[in-house]
């Protein structure tokens, strides 16, 4: 990955925005490398870009990384506006609805944080006549479906969804993204503890990229794989299967299709 790729993506973003008669880009910045690259690509268009830090009981380290990157963007690009909207109080009220019921569920809570952030981003995008920009990479969006449906998966345009995590890291280096963000372990930041993406999935992004490539090559599973490779393939297939509904268009019943 090099700056030519970055230039091509930024040009594509700019053309799509103009073709659809909207005014700006809006995206959430988490402190991770994916949102850092996506926001930088938007900033490079010269189009007004709103980068939003939305802490919800967030770890201070993640909030600090987000602020670090947003400050860097504002310093280097005049078209970038930084905002921080702390939604913790709103989330506390929402959580209280289910706190004493049988439906209380930690995964539902985590997903609700992501969906609350999506609501905030779309509120801003609508008020400013803009587009919500996605920050998911290829493995997340089309491999294991590691995102919240109608949360961080609810976007208008996805600039890095055809890039693997390795390619995102290479592009981040070319864009001179801060070293602290390059080295930070990937995390969705939705849980009360400090769990990483790798600890939730059971495999690193590099391993998942290998599994995705291996399975896309249409090779039959063979005895040539190591024990760990076989395990990673099973992890990938498990996530891909259970999250398939996220990665396909919404099914629509067609009148008369059962005649």
Q: What is the pLDDT of residues 78-104, one digit of tens each?
A: 999 999 999 999 999 998 888 776 666
Compute the distance between CA of residue 146 and CA of residue 136 in angstroms, rounded to an integer.
9
User: Could you give the angle at the alpha carbon of 140 between the alpha carbons of 149 and 228, nearest 5°?
Assistant: 130
Q: How far is CA 191 from CA 84, 110, 131, 145, 188, in A?
A: 20, 6, 27, 18, 8
Q: Is the pLDDT of residue 48 over 80?
A: yes
pTM for the whole thing?
A: 0.91
Compute the distance between CA of residue 33 and CA of residue 41 in angstroms, rounded to an integer.
12
Question: Rg (Cα) of the chain, in Å, rounded?
Answer: 19
Torsion sign, CA atoms 139, 145, 148, 150: positive
| Residue count (the chain) | 259
Phi, psi of 47 (to 5 degrees): -80, 145
pLDDT at residue 103, as a whole number: 64
Read off the pLDDT of residues 235-246 as tens digits, 9 standing for 90 and up: 999 999 999 999
Per-residue pLDDT band at 62 (split at 50, 70, 90): confident
pLDDT at residue 174, as a whole number: 95
Contacts of 106 (CB under 8 A, 6+ apart): 191
Kindly list the domain boundaries of the chain, sorted by start residue.
Answer: 3-247
Compute the distance between CA of residue 67 and CA of residue 43 in angstroms, rounded to an integer.
16
Read off the pLDDT of residues 149-206 as tens digits, 9 standing for 90 and up: 999 999 999 999 999 999 999 999 999 999 999 988 888 778 877 788 888 999 999 9
Share of the chain above pLDDT 70, in %: 95
What is the fold of 3-247? Rossmann fold (3.40.50)
Per-residue pLDDT band at 1 (split at 50, 70, 90): low
Compute the distance between CA of residue 154 and CA of residue 215 in angstroms, rounded to an integer.
27
């Amino acid at each position: 990955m090099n700056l030519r790729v970055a230039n091509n993506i930024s040009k594509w973003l700019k053309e799509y925005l103009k073709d659809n008669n909207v005014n700006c880009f809006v995206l959430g910045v988490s402190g991770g490398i994916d949102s850092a690259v996506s926001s930088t690509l938007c900033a490079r268009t010269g189009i007004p870009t709103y980068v939003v830090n939305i802490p919800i009981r967030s770890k201070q380290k993640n909030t600090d990384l987000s602020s670090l990157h947003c400050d860097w963007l504002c310093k280097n690009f005049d078209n970038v506006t930084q905002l921080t909207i702390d939604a913790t109080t709103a989330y506390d009220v929402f959580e209280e609805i289910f706190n004493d019921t049988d439906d209380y569920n930690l995964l539902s809570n985590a997903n609700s944080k992501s969906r609350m952030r999506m609501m905030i981003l779309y509120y801003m995008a609508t008020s400013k006549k803009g587009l919500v920009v996605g920050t998911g990479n290829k493995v997340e969006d089309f491999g294991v479906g590691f995102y919240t449906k109608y949360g961080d998966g609810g976007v208008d345009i996805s600039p890095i969804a055809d890039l693997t995590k390795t390619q995102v890291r290479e592009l981040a280096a070319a864009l001179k993204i801060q070293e602290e963000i390059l080295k930070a372990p990937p995390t969705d930041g939705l849980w009360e503890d400090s769990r990483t993406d790798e600890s939730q999935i059971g495999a690193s992004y590099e391993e998942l990229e290998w599994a995705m490539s291996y399975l896309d090559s249409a090779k039959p599973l063979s005895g040539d794989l190591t024990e760990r490779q076989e395990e990673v393939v099973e992890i990938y297939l498990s996530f891909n299967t259970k999250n398939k509904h996220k990665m396909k268009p919404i099914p629509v019943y067609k009148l008369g299709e059962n005649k």
